[in-house]
Amino acid sequence: VYFLSDYGTADEFVGIVHAVLHGLAPTVAVIDLSHQVPAFDVAAGAAMLVRSGPFLGAGVVLAVVDPGVGTDRAAVALEVPAGGPRWLVGPDNGLLMPLAASLGGVRAAVALDPVHPLGEPAGGRPGRTFDGRDVFAPAAAHLAEGGHAEGLGRPIDVATLQPAPAGAPTGGPGSAPDADGSAIRASVTWIDRFGNVQLAAVPADLSAIGLVPGGTARVTVLPGPGGGGGPGRVVTGRRVRAFGHLAPGEFGLLEDANGQVSLVLDRGSAARSLEIAGRGDGVRIEAEAAGGSTPVGGTGA
Amino acid sequence: VYFLSDYGTADEFVGIVHAVLHGLAPTVAVIDLSHQVPAFDVAAGAAMLVRSGPFLGAGVVLAVVDPGVGTDRAAVALEVPAGGPRWLVGPDNGLLMPLAASLGGVRAAVALDPVHPLGEPAGGRPGRTFDGRDVFAPAAAHLAEGGHAEGLGRPIDVATLQPAPAGAPTGGPGSAPDADGSAIRASVTWIDRFGNVQLAAVPADLSAIGLVPGGTARVTVLPGPGGGGGPGRVVTGRRVRAFGHLAPGEFGLLEDANGQVSLVLDRGSAARSLEIAGRGDGVRIEAEAAGGSTPVGGTGA
Amino acid sequence: VYFLSDYGTADEFVGIVHAVLHGLAPTVAVIDLSHQVPAFDVAAGAAMLVRSGPFLGAGVVLAVVDPGVGTDRAAVALEVPAGGPRWLVGPDNGLLMPLAASLGGVRAAVALDPVHPLGEPAGGRPGRTFDGRDVFAPAAAHLAEGGHAEGLGRPIDVATLQPAPAGAPTGGPGSAPDADGSAIRASVTWIDRFGNVQLAAVPADLSAIGLVPGGTARVTVLPGPGGGGGPGRVVTGRRVRAFGHLAPGEFGLLEDANGQVSLVLDRGSAARSLEIAGRGDGVRIEAEAAGGSTPVGGTGA
């Protein structure tokens, strides 16, 4: 079971879900992807799942970012084609859809019964505010042990599933930036712990505007819903292959571990330095020098 | 082994305890409940254990919130009746007592020898500041593998154990709020990562003052030791069954996943919004409308 | 596999490395030491590894604090003598060297091929910014399953390995403080989650200046690269055996769980109270009272 949530680790939520999984499926390994999805941020959780997808093996993905817990939104288990995880379990709010798309699409869906058929947890079931414990974990444990989905609820039409939330990735690298004359405008898709700013652009997008490895670009921070104080800031960034090819204090544009372009700062936080606050903010990138003759570490597109 | 502590995760404390457990009992699963108990806060750790209790299976609870480490406070292993974990291991400072009470009471207690009989850790034992590593983990590993407690120390009289700390839960839902005319005054027992404010009250306490599902209440923040800036703040809260039944920006009172009443805000932090700082602060709740006719999702007491 | 990094837990980095390890070596236990090493702080990571070293069993240490990822710095697997872990896997930037020294020294070293021979991860390999996933984890999984190092890369001369970074521990307790007349000057080696300030000194260093258990010292905060606001602050600290032997608000000097001297405050943060900011700051300790007659809990050197 691969487990992702917005539960944080300050409380015992994650531990209790682990305890429930262990009680129902003691031999199943549980791998925590992250529990620090920003609270209620379904799109951020969806993006994290997509980035993780290629590295997940057989098993079940259990994902909970669920502002609608306790309402009549469905709890679902989605079956995807073989190759990686076979089942995705979580709320029907779009969280699972981008991952499902990246894994080949949803083949079947089951709406999980609010009271699962595997027996009540020892403590009974009080208020409906913790479906991770009461609904999703029991279903994930059942499926991880090879159980059939039929007993967990009723099949539902895949076409009725909630779509991916606004701002979530479409299911693979390649979301194109906007053309802007000889420049591109790309929105921010992720700011990681190091302050690297991932953009909705791939290396070929840089090449298309003449920004070759080793070349430099004029990078302008654009206003966006992230609300950072950075709009209007302009810096020069160099297209490089690795952080280590940057001089101290130099900004870089490189292909990151997900195949996307990231705006980075050597041993520093590009996001903090440029006051880029979050997903949905953006940058404009315009090549300003041919570069090519001394491609520092460059092997890009 | 179910493991809870106030060690945090910035240092290697938790990892070293895992390493010691793995070295002594390689086949035993270790489940982290949380390591973010506020430093030295025995009552908060005790409350977290009680909330987790119903979901723990057979095994050993290893809990360390231990401001008295290295003094002559005893290290103990407490035996509780069968059904969930059989042994609770930790400092004799009251931390384990509420959980023990909720599991049926302490049947036997052993004071762990400061130097455990299972052999010195490879690195020897320097200063007595890390009993989690040097005393509790070896004892928990021994008990988790089915070892007898006799070899770990000497039996002690259960009546000599330190009681639960002030502010800790009494061992189950049901701590009654104070009556206040037609209203109740309930203290805060927990503020979770989402800012939900759990109260020392159960749904029946709301019904008793005429606050039925769908009805609204006048909620007043009271001064308390938590020290928040909120006392005097008054808001209207509606009794609902789930977060999703609240309008944006609306406060709610619902039965949470522990069977307690929680004061919540849809997709927001009730605690931050009302400047409620922590455990021991309180609120006054007075029903102000009959409601009943349109119980929005209500199925409560 | 014992896993340490500066990845943090806000992103899915740690989870993906776990997923890769599990995919390649499903039966191997993975123990997280910590992932909260300050970003890019190789010396802090090295110190954490050394403190953990005595408690690690057989297996592989996987450690990633790697500001040079993607440059031509080597990725290495270091073989150390039997007794604890046999292989240390990580970047060749000095991170692993203090641990290796404490475990008996490096016996052999292999430079890991950038493209490991065990097969591409399912998602291919995009930018070279995540060697934990793409290079180190596959090598660690291979070695943890008892595989030979030969297939992972080419042997390299141990003498060519990068040395320990400035500020890292030398491999064991005993780094001597500077003599300063009848006092010592000791630098800060670690500030833990509780605000305890570990010093580059052992109990014998205190005894050497006449500070016996129960005695008090004049402790002066010195300027240092940590940049705290504390230099010039002077407090009285008592040499004790345990936190619990201090009066409320009293500073203490005690032997910590690593055998080093730590400057502590009972149930409080000595670091915050004295505005000591980090590693490299220092204190001057001068015995001011004989004490001896009432050694409170003292059993020290």
Give C171's DSSP letter: S
pLDDT in tens, A244-278: 788 888 999 999 998 899 999 988 899 999 999 88
Provide the percentage of residues in chain C whose pLDDT is more than 70.
Answer: 88
The winner for highest mean pLDDT among A223-227, B16-20, B118-122, C150-154 is B16-20
Provide the percentage of residues in chain A whose pLDDT is more than 90.
Answer: 69
Contact C129 A193 (CB under 8 A): no
C259 touches chain B (CB under 8 A): yes
Chain C residue whose CA is closest to A297: C71
CB-defined contacts A:C, below 8 A: 120
Q: Phi, psi (5° rounding) for residue A102?
A: -70, -20
SS3 C250: coil
Chain A residue whose CA is closest to B261: A127
Contact C70 A35 (CB under 8 A): no
Q: How many angstroms away from the CA of B135 is the closest CA of chain A?
A: 23
> If you average pLDDT over residues C53-80, what whole number do you get?
92
Residues of chain B positioned with their CB less than 8 A from the CB of C192: 10-11, 13
* Predicted local confidence at residue C33, as pLDDT: 97
Q: Phi, psi (5° rounding) for residue B263?
A: -95, 120
CB C177 within 8 A of CB C199: yes
Nearest by CB to residue C19, choosing from A52, A194, A242, is A52
Q: How confident is the model at residue B122 (pLDDT cuts 50, 70, 90)?
A: very low
CB C223 within 8 A of CB C285: no
Distances (CA, A) of A292 to A144, A288, A295: 51, 12, 5
Q: What's the maximum distance between 2 C-alpha atoms anywhere in chain A? A: 69
Q: How many angstroms away from the CA of B240 is the closest CA of chain C?
A: 32
CA A34 remoteness from chain centre: 10
Q: Is the per-residue pLDDT at A233 higher than 70?
A: yes
* Predicted local confidence at residue B162, as pLDDT: 96
> What's chain B's average pLDDT?
87
pLDDT in tens, B157-189: 999 999 998 888 764 444 678 888 789 999 999
Give the residue ranges of DSSP H helices in C25-131: 42-52, 97-102, 131
Answer with the residue of higher pLDDT: A280 or B142.
B142
* Predicted local confidence at residue A96, as pLDDT: 97
Answer with the residue of higher pLDDT: A294 or B39.
B39
* Predicted local confidence at residue B173, as pLDDT: 46
Q: Is the per-residue pLDDT at A123 higher than 60?
A: no
Q: Hey, how many other C-beta atoms are within 10 angstroms of the C-beta on C82? A: 11
Judged by average pLDDT, the poorest of B167-176, B216-225, B262-271, C25-34 is B167-176
* Predicted local confidence at residue C173, as pLDDT: 46
Judged by average pLDDT, the poorest of A13-27, A36-50, B51-65, C122-136 is C122-136
> What's chain C's average pLDDT?
87
Q: How confident is the model at residue A125 (pLDDT cuts 50, 70, 90)?
A: low
Q: Is the per-residue pLDDT at C291 higher than 70?
A: no
CB A254 within 8 A of CB A270: no
* Predicted local confidence at residue C294, as pLDDT: 41
Nearest by CB to residue C52, choosing from B10, B15, B71, is B15
ipTM for the predicted complex comes to 0.89
pLDDT in tens, B225-253: 766 677 889 999 999 988 878 888 899 99
* Predicted local confidence at residue C109, as pLDDT: 97
CB C162 within 8 A of CB C149: no
Q: Is the per-residue pLDDT at C57 higher than 70?
A: yes
Answer with the residue of higher pLDDT: C73 or A251.
A251
Going through chain A in order, the beta strands assigned E by DSSP cover 2-5, 31-34, 60-64, 75-79, 87-91, 108-112, 153-156, 178-180, 183-191, 197-199, 216-222, 234-239, 251-255, 261-265, 282-287
Answer with the residue of higher pLDDT: B214 or B298.
B214
> If you average pLDDT over residues A52-67, what whole number do you get?
95
* Predicted local confidence at residue B301, as pLDDT: 32
Chain C residue whose CA is closest to A255: C127
Q: Which amino acid appears at position A37 of this protein?
A: V
Q: How confident is the model at residue C175 (pLDDT cuts 50, 70, 90)?
A: low
Interface probe, candidates C243, C245, C258, C273, chain B, greatest B C-beta count within 10 A: C243
Interface probe, candidates A36, A190, A193, chain C, greatest C C-beta count within 10 A: A193
* Predicted local confidence at residue A153, as pLDDT: 93
Residues of chain A positioned with their CB less than 8 A from the CB of B55: 16, 19-20, 23, 121-123, 133
Distances (CA, A) of A299 to A263, B228, B246, C133: 17, 56, 53, 20
pLDDT in tens, C197-252: 999 999 999 999 999 999 999 999 998 776 667 788 999 999 998 887 888 889 99
* Predicted local confidence at residue C120, as pLDDT: 54
Task: Tell me how long chain C is.
Answer: 301
Answer with the residue of higher pLDDT: C195 or A243.
C195
Provide the percentage of residues in chain B whose pLDDT is more than 70.
Answer: 88
Q: Which amino acid appears at position C108 of this protein?
A: A
* Token output for A173: 């690298």
CA atoms of C39 and B1, how far apart (whole Å) = 31
Look at the block and give the residue holding tokens 């521990």: C169
Cα dihedral sign, B105-B109-B115-B120: negative
**A221, β-bridge pairs:** A283
* Token output for A116: 């699962």
* Predicted local confidence at residue B46, as pLDDT: 96
* Predicted local confidence at residue B34, as pLDDT: 97
Q: Is the per-residue pLDDT at B297 higher than 60?
A: no
Q: Phi, psi (5° rounding) for residue B278?
A: 180, -170
CA atoms of B164 and B147, how far apart (whole Å) = 27
Nearest by CB to residue B70, choosing from C34, C243, C258, is C243
* Predicted local confidence at residue A295, as pLDDT: 38
Q: Is the per-residue pLDDT at B119 higher than 70?
A: no
Q: Is the per-residue pLDDT at A292 higher than 70?
A: no
* Predicted local confidence at residue A230, as pLDDT: 76
* Predicted local confidence at residue A66, as pLDDT: 92
pTM of this structure: 0.90
* Predicted local confidence at residue C179, as pLDDT: 83
> What's chain A's average pLDDT?
87
A193 touches chain C (CB under 8 A): yes
* Predicted local confidence at residue A215, as pLDDT: 95
Contact C126 A257 (CB under 8 A): yes
Interface of A with B in 125-144 (CB under 8 A): 126-130, 133-134
CA atoms of B146 and B140, how far apart (whole Å) = 10
Q: How many angstroms away from the CA of A141 is the closest CA of chain B?
A: 14
- Which helix (H) or strand (E) segment holds residue C185: the answer is strand C183-191
